[in-house]
Amino acid sequence: MSGVEARHPLGIPSVDPIASGPSYAADVERARRLEVLVREGHAGSLVEAGIRFALTNEGMTTVLVGYSTFEHLEYAAAAAEKGPLPRAALDRLAALWQEKM
């Protein structure tokens, strides 16, 4: 989801996708197409966008992030502090999903 396939050495070397795409590499490729969200200023990064998107649903109580480093924790917390993505970002996403990414 960060658009980069390299993983931290503490993380598991490959991740099977759960219910997103056929492979992790395919997910990375699709995530790259989401980078327009960052380029257009809707979010600071795809990691930030992912956390803030999950919080847009009122039915979602909390979101889990797994951490490899102290810095990952700080980054995720800063993203969560920014709150749910705004309407304009959701509208942009809806258009991207219509293109079936």
Q: Is 25 in the site for other proteins (CB under 8 A)?
A: no
CB 79 to other proteins: min, Å:
8
Contact assessment for residue 90 and residue 56, using Cβ atoms and an 8 Å cutoff: yes
Which are the contacts of 20, defined by CB distance < 8 A and separation ≥ 6? 27, 30
- DSSP states along 69-88: SHHHHHHHHHHHHT-SPPHH
Q: Is 54 in the site for other proteins (CB under 8 A)?
A: yes
Would you tell me which residues interact with other proteins (CB under 8 A)? 1-2, 4-8, 10-12, 15, 17-21, 24, 27, 30-31, 34, 46-47, 49-51, 53-70, 72-74, 76-77, 80-81, 83, 93, 97-98, 100-101
